[in-house]
Amino acid sequence: MKRVLAIGILLAATSVLAVFATGAAAPPPSEYRVRAMFENAFSVIPGEDVKVAGVKVGKVDSLDVTPDQKAAVVLRIDRDGFKDFRRDAECTIRPQSLIGEKFVECTPTQPRPEGAQPAPKLERIEKGPGKGQYLLPVTQTSKPVDLDLVNNTLRLPYRERLAIILNELGTGLAGRGQDLRQAIRNADPALKETDKVLVILGDQNRVLEDLARDSDRIMAPLARDRASAAGFVENASTVATAAASEDTALAQNVQKLPGFLRELRPTVVRLGSLSDQMTPVLSDLGAVAPDVNRLVRETGPFAAAADPALQRLGDATVVGRQALVKARPIVQDLGRFASAARPLSANLQSLTTSLRDTGGIERALDYIFFQVAAINGFDSVGHYLRAGLLVNACSVYAITSSPDCSANFQDQGTGSASGASASAATAPASAVKGYADTRRSPDLRRLDAYLHGLDPDKAVPQGTAAQPGLQTAQPAPPASARTSTSDRRSSPTRSSA
């Protein structure tokens, strides 16, 4: 019997040593354990769940008590995606059900803005208890007060005892404010979060002051128009009800919104550039805004004064429409004429442009001027026109032909002239009408005789003077008085009327 008892004691001791040896050894490299320190881990047992955002990621591996009277809860994380606790991680013990089961809920790291650097990893324990585990300090853990403990304060005799505690709290905790603060913080994790909120509010006291002041300023008009505010709330309820009835369409619009925003981005960029370029224009418009306002105000009387004219213009359009309808064939003809005249107009344009650019019209006028100046005579008296006035029997209008006025000139040197011409050549000058008229200029008489085939010297001898009172031929100026060789070759007399 003693031998059996000794063997049993030896087996028990061996089991205990194996357990302690296993607990003291470092965990395998593939396992991830977090050593979370709690002020109180009452009713937590190994094997309970460890969750992250409601997802089961591991189990409570073991529990231990540290020398400073803290509860060390070892959390074994089994899922690979959650084996990366950071220094801003937090864990709390929550009730699993009404029968007292617990679970540990953890947040491996706090949310951060996109692109921000993550927090450092938890510190790994290199030696001593929990070697190889990752330490989560007690400042980042919490445990709510259990509901049954709260309910116990409402039962006798705990209720009376709580009253006594509250009555004597001031005396009992005199000078122990820091301990009381620590006890309250440990009693309700919400107070820890409240501390964080108060720290943030303390950093934003200036903003809160402005908010309070602006709130007073805003609430005054709202209080004055509270009826309108109440109507707004009622209408907002109606709008919310209508929006709820169209939740499917709104959901589709929200789904399409990212694509719409991507397509809208280039337009917004161009609008931003446009706004930058429009800033000087808008500044100038702001400077002249009073003038623009005055212009708009004065446009009203102008528009009122223009009403009768516009009405009469409307009446005129009725008549003008009929005229335009009747003029349509003419306009069409003009259109066809314009199409046909386009090449001519193009050539005329080129011609007129060339005349304008080269001075063609001025050169033509210069030619006329210099040509007239070249054929005119010039003597000591002035310019004269070289022209011979034919005054004879053939210069008057006649209804019957005259043989003497024929344009068929005969060759006087051959002796084969007609009988009429021969008789005229042998006839005396007094037999031809106008030759015997001594009132005429001798030069004209000699010219008439020459044109009729007579000898001018026989018809009018040289040196014969006209009767007194008649204009006679002037002697030609000497050759030295002429201005050009062509003038010296011209007729020696000027014609007289």
| Least confident window among 115-129, 169-183, 234-248, 417-431 | 417-431
Given a cut of 80, whether residue 127 has pLDDT beyond it is yes
Query: Average of pLDDT values for 387-408?
Result: 67
The answer to whether the beta carbons of residues 482 and 379 sit under 8 Å apart is: yes
402 belongs to a structural domain: yes
Reported for 460-466, long-range contacts at CB under 8 A and 24+ positions apart, including other chains, are 460/429, 460/435, 466/438, 466/439, 466/440, 466/441, 466/442
Same domain as 466, residue 394: yes
Half-sphere exposure of 442 (CA within 13 A, CB side): 18
pLDDT over 80 (residue 97): no
Single out the residue in 117, 143, 169 at which a domain terminates: 143
Domain shared by 390 and 449, yes or no: yes
Shared domain check, 64 and 165? no
Is 65 part of a structural domain of the chain?
yes
Place of tokens 């593939």: 30
Whether 257 has a pLDDT exceeding 50, the answer reads yes
Whether residue 482 is found in the same domain as residue 432: yes
Query: Which of 203, 220, 237 is where one domain is finished?
Result: 203
Residue 145 DSSP one-character state: P
Q: Are residues 110 and 164 in the same domain?
A: no
Give the lowest-confidence range in 91-95, 313-317, 369-373, 385-389.
Answer: 385-389
Contact present, 125 and 174 (Cβ < 8 Å):
no
How much is the pLDDT for 378? 73
H/E element holding 342?
helix 328-358
Q: Does residue 322 lie within any of the structural domains?
A: no
Examine the domain organization and report whether 47 and 121 are in the same domain: yes
352 or 486, which is more confident? 352
Question: Which of the residue ranges 4-13, 81-90, 157-166 has the most confident prediction, judged by mean pLDDT?
Answer: 81-90
Domain assignment present for residue 250? The answer is no
181 domain-assigned = yes
pTM of structure:
0.33
Which residues lie across from 425 on neighbouring strands? none
Q: Is the peptide bond before 221 cis (omega within 30 degrees of 0)?
A: no
How many domains does the structure of the chain reveal? 3
Report CA 100 to chain centroid distance, whole Å: 69
Write the pLDDT tens digit of every residue in 210-247: 888 888 788 788 788 888 888 888 888 888 888 888 88
Give residue 201's pLDDT. Answer: 76
Report yes or no on 58 lying in a domain: yes
pLDDT of res. 10 = 44
Quickly state the pLDDT bin for 422 (edges 50, 70, 90): very low
**Are residue 49 and residue 112 in the same domain, yes or no?**
yes
The tokens for 36 are 């979370």
Q: Are residues 192 and 114 in the same domain?
A: no
Among the ranges given (47-61, 335-349, 432-446), the one the predictor scored with the smallest mean pLDDT:
432-446
Q: Which is it for strands 123-124 and 134-136: parallel, antiparallel or unpaired?
A: antiparallel
The two three-digit tokens of residue 105, written as one number: 């809920």
3-state class of 51 per DSSP?
A: strand
Mean pLDDT, residues 114-139 taken together: 89
Which pLDDT band, with edges at 50, 70 and 90, does 30 fall under?
A: low
Same domain membership, residue 88 and residue 189: no
Domain that holds residue 123: 29-143
With the CA atoms of 459, 463, 468 and 474 taken in that order, what torsion angle do they form, in degrees rounded to the nearest 10?
110
Give the separation between CA 449 and CA 463, rounded to whole angstroms: 16
- Tell me which of 91, 111, 143 is where a domain ends: 143
Query: Is residue 61 in a domain?
Result: yes
pLDDT of residue 266: 92
Q: Is 192 in the same domain as 102?
A: no
Least confident of 85-99, 382-396, 428-442: 428-442
